[in-house]
A and B are shown apart, each in its own frame.
Chain A
C-alpha cells in the first residue's frame, strides 16, 4: 500500500515536471485549447452577470415604490421597466455610435472586441477579449478605445486574446509629449488601494529646461514597432525631477477608463491612403522633423 502511494506520488511529480517543462508551442496549444473551450461559458457568465446587475438596479428602484398605492406602484414599475430598457438601449446605441465614429475616423484598421473578463489570478493587470487569431487579432498589437490607448495584446488563441493594460508594471510604451516632442517611456505603476490604475512617464534626456508641464498631452511615439504613432495615452500630472535631480519624470493620467471597459479596438494595421494622424500633421505643420 505504501509502495503504491509512493509510486503514485512519483508519477504525479513526473507529470507535473513534464507540464512545467512543456515547449512554449505545446503549452500554448494546451492553454489555447482550454481557453477556447472555456470562452463561451465565460461569455455566458459575463453577460448573465451584466443582466443580473441590471435586474438588481431595477429591483432597487421598484422597492422604493412599496409605500405607494398598489396599482400605481405596479403601473410605475412597468413604466420604469420600459424606461430602463429604453435608457439602456439609448446608452448602448450612443456607445456603439461613438465606437463606430472612432472606427471610421481612425487611420488604422480596427477590430472591435468585447471584454470577456479580467485576469483570473490577479497577478497581472490584464483583460481577455472575445476575438482571436481567427479574426486577425495577434500578439503585439496595440489595443485602444475612442478615449485612448489601453495596452497591447500579449497572447492570442483562435477565439480569445489577452491584453496587458498600461497600468501593469511589465507594460512599457515609447511615448512623447505632443506639445514639446519630448521623448520618454510610459511605465505601468499598478493600481492604488482605491482601485485607480496608474502610470508614470520617465523622460529620456529631458531636463527641467524642456518645460514639460502638468496637463501636457502624451501620445505614442511610434518607436518600437508595436504601437502606431500618435495614439493618445493621457495627460501629464505631478511633473518633477528624478532622484538624481537631472531629468524630469511625471505621473500620467490615462485618458481611457481602464477600470470600466466593455468594448475595445485592436489596431490591426494602417489603412492604405489614410490621412496622417493629428499629432504627425501638427508636427509637420510646425516644421518638426
Chain B
C-alpha cells in the first residue's frame, strides 16, 4: 500500500509542478513540489524509502524539464539524507519544522543544481540571478512543504496506510 501511495503522490506532485508556472518576480523560481514529497519521505520513513522516492522524483523532474538525467536524483537524495540526519532534533509534525526543512532543502537543491548545470554548460545564468532564484525557491518551498505534507498524510489515511485522525488529535 505504501508503494501505491508513493506512486500516486509522485504522479500528482509531478503533474502539479509541471502545471504551475515559473514565478518571474521570484527570479524564475519553480514551485518545488517534488522536493517537498522527498522531504516527507525523509522525515517519516526509512532511508530506503526516501532514496526510492528521491530517485523516482529526480527522474520525473529531469524528464519533465531539460535537466540532464540524474542531476535532480543526486540533489534530491542529498537533500533527503540531510533531512534524515536532522529529523531526530525536531518535531517533524510541527509546521515550523516543515517550513524550515523545506526552505533549507530548497536552497541546497537550487544551488547544487545551479552548480551542476553550470559545470555541464547547460545554462548561462549569472550567479546573481541564481541567488535570486534560490531565494524565490526557498519562499515557495516554505509555503508548499506543509501543504504537500498535509496532502500526502491525507492520501495515506484515505488509503489505509495511516490510522484515521481522531477528533482533536494531531496530524
Contacts and interface: CB of A to CB of B under 8 A. Distances in A.
B71 interface: yes
A27 interface: yes
Interface in B86-127: 113, 117, 122-125
Nearest to B18: A120
Interface stretch (A40-48, A134-142, A239-247): A40-48
Contacts of B55: 12, 15-16
A30 B70 CA distance: 11
A27 B15 contact: no
B59 interface: yes
Interface in B37-68: 47-48, 51, 55, 59-68
A32 to B, nearest CB: 8
Interface in B1-42: 11, 14-19, 21-22, 24-25, 28-30
B25 A169 contact: no
A119 B66 contact: yes
B29 A170 contact: no
B19 A122 contact: no
Interface residues of A, number: 42
B74 A20 contact: yes
Q: How large is the interface on B (under 10, 10 to 19, 20 to 34, 35 or more residues)?
A: 35 or more
B127 to A, nearest CB: 14
A27 B69 contact: yes
A8 B48 contact: yes
Nearest to B63: A34
A197 B23 CA distance: 13
Contact of B66 (A9, A19, A45, A121): A121
Contacts of B64: 35, 38, 42, 120-121, 128
A8 B133 CA distance: 34
Interface of chain A, main secondary structure: mixed
Given A120-B18, A162-B66, A38 B25 contact: no
Contacts, number: 119
Residue from the set A35, A117, A123 with the largest chain B CB neighbour count within 10 Å: A123
Nearest to A192: B24
B129 interface: yes
Contact of B24 (A46, A128, A193): A193
B22 A118 contact: yes
Interface string B138-151: 00000000000000
A49 B64 CA distance: 18
Given A20-B71, A27-B68, A119 B63 contact: no
B73 interface: yes
Contact of A122 (B28, B48, B51): B28
Given A20-B70, A22-B70, A194-B25, 9 more contacts: A12-B77, A16-B73, A22-B69, A38-B14, A120-B18, A121-B72, A169-B123, A190-B28, A194-B24
26 contacts: A8-B47, A8-B51, A12-B55, A16-B55, A16-B74, A19-B70, A19-B73, A20-B70, A20-B74, A27-B68, A27-B70, A30-B69, A34-B60, A119-B65, A120-B30, A120-B64, A121-B61, A122-B29, A122-B133, A123-B67, A123-B122, A128-B64, A155-B66, A169-B125, A190-B28, A192-B24
Which 10 pairs from chain A and chain B are nearest by CB?
Answer: A122-B30, A19-B70, A121-B65, A195-B24, A34-B63, A122-B22, A120-B64, A20-B70, A27-B69, A120-B18
